[in-house]
Structure 1
Amino acid sequence: MNLEISTIWFWIILGVTGIISGVVGYLFGKVNAGSDSDNSFQINLLEIENAKLKADLDTCKKRLSAAKPSKENVIDPPVPISKLAPTFHANEAKTAFGKSIKENDLKIVEGIGPKIEELFHKFDIKTWKALSETSADTCQEVLNSGGKRYRIHDPASWPMQAKMAYEGHWKQLAEWQEKHRAGKY
């Protein structure tokens, strides 16, 4: 008799668990189905908005192409003063570095000494502007041309430093070099 009662309770518990699982599964399905319809509604709204924006863009492009003057009638504007080469101010450089600085002295760049400056001059890089427009890879090629002892230098920051010197940002250059003494970052 005990075995029969245990078996009955087993089947009752199993049945109740199945019913509860079914109800919970149904409820989860209902909740997820509602969010799918919300997502598809939002996607539709975004697609409509995207179509409107594309139409606006096409309208703007048409207006722009209609408003463009022909190349023959365009006169080149004069070069603004701000685009002209910066003027070298020796006093500002001396104030920032505490020593006299010669214009286009590449040795002002942290990591460049007299021998490395000679290497750059051989590659016709003789000014701060020229060095500022030189890639770090080209700087490394210049160093490699001098032999093994020059390959240990890291020229990654040299164009940036040369640009600061060329543009007359003496205080910023001195501060940067103080933070990165001897090429250490």
Structure 2
Amino acid sequence: MDFEYMDVWCWLIPLGIGLLCGLFGYLIGRGSNPTVDFNSEIKSLQQQNEKAKADLAKCQQKLAAGSALHSHTAQAFDAQAAKKALGKSVKFNDLSLVEGIGPKIRSLFHNFEINTWQALSETSVAKCQEVLDSGGDRYKVHDPASWPMQAKMAAEGKWKDLAKWQHEHKHGKL
């Protein structure tokens, strides 16, 4: 291809048309997208952010308060002290340690998501009776009145008190 014979117009016409199309495209695109007020949207998002921060602070305070409440009651499980006081091996959070709860009643409590001594100690006697009633008529002879108290002693590691109470109250009756 010979560039000597090419006319200047062969370059200027496509360049001019391209610039003209670019200008029209810019003007059309600018007219179809109205100016968006981002300031109001930014303010709205900042308000939501502040509210979320305040909610987070409240949740952290509640968590700290809850941890403080449970820190003085929850103690490390000492299997040796439990065995010494009760005269038998004790598994951590075994509900059958409570006088009157056997393996089948323990499984009923597990069905109600009551799996630990702490959870049982925080359960009302009425809820314990509801758990027993869910097992049928064969569990009507059991009296759960002392179970939360016994579970609390176990959860707090008061093995001597628990052993004394169980010795004085045979079959878990008050």
Decide: shared fold, TM above 0.5.
yes
TM-superposition CA deviations, 1:22-60 (whole Å, max 9, x none): xxxxxxxxxxxxxxxxxxxxxxxxxxxxxxxxxxxxxxx
Query: 2 CA distance for matches of 1:179 and 1:92?
Result: 20
The runs of 5 or more residues in structure 1 that have no matched partner are 1-71
2:78 match: 89
2:150 aligned to 158, 161, 178, which one? 161
Aligned residues: 112
How far the C-alpha of 1:151 sits from its partner, in A, is 1.5
Matched, 1:102 2:87: no
Q: In structure 2, do the counterparts of structure 1 residues 97 and 115 end up closer, same or farther at CA, with 3 Å as the change threshold?
A: same
Q: Which runs of 4+ in 1 moved over 3 A?
A: 75-82
Query: 1 CA distance for matches of 2:152 and 2:172?
Result: 17
Query: 2 CA distance for matches of 1:159 and 1:147?
Result: 21
Query: 1 CA distance for matches of 2:162 and 2:113?
Result: 24
2:119 aligned to 116, 123, 130, which one? 130
What is the one-letter code of the residue matched to 1:134?
T
Q: In structure 2, do the counterparts of structure 1 residues 137 and 80 end up closer, same or farther at CA, with 3 Å as the change threshold?
A: closer
Q: In structure 2, do the counterparts of structure 1 residues 81 and 183 end up closer, same or farther at CA, with 3 Å as the change threshold?
A: closer
What is the one-letter code of the residue matched to 2:81?
E
How far the C-alpha of 1:81 sits from its partner, in A, is 9.0
What TM-score do you get using the length of structure 2 for normalisation?
0.59
TM-superposition CA deviations, 1:108-163 (whole Å, max 9, x none): 10000000000000001000000000000000000000000101111011000000
Query: 2 CA distance for matches of 1:129 and 1:113?
Result: 18
How far the C-alpha of 1:99 sits from its partner, in A, is 1.2
What is the one-letter code of the residue matched to 1:103?
F
What TM-score do you get using the length of structure 1 for normalisation?
0.56
Matched, 1:149 2:138: yes
How far the C-alpha of 1:183 sits from its partner, in A, is 2.5
- The DSSP-based 3-state class of the residue aligned with 2:123 is coil
What is the one-letter code of the residue matched to 1:157?
S
Query: 2 CA distance for matches of 1:81 and 1:147?
Result: 34
What is the one-letter code of the residue matched to 1:89?
D
Q: How does 1:14-93 map to 2 (within 5 A)?
A: 79=68, 82-83=71-72, 85-93=74-82
1:170 match: 159
Q: In structure 2, do the counterparts of structure 1 residues 136 and 82 end up closer, same or farther at CA, with 3 Å as the change threshold?
A: same
CA RMSD in angstroms comes to 2.2
Query: 2 CA distance for matches of 1:141 and 1:130?
Result: 15
Query: 2 CA distance for matches of 1:184 and 1:82?
Result: 31
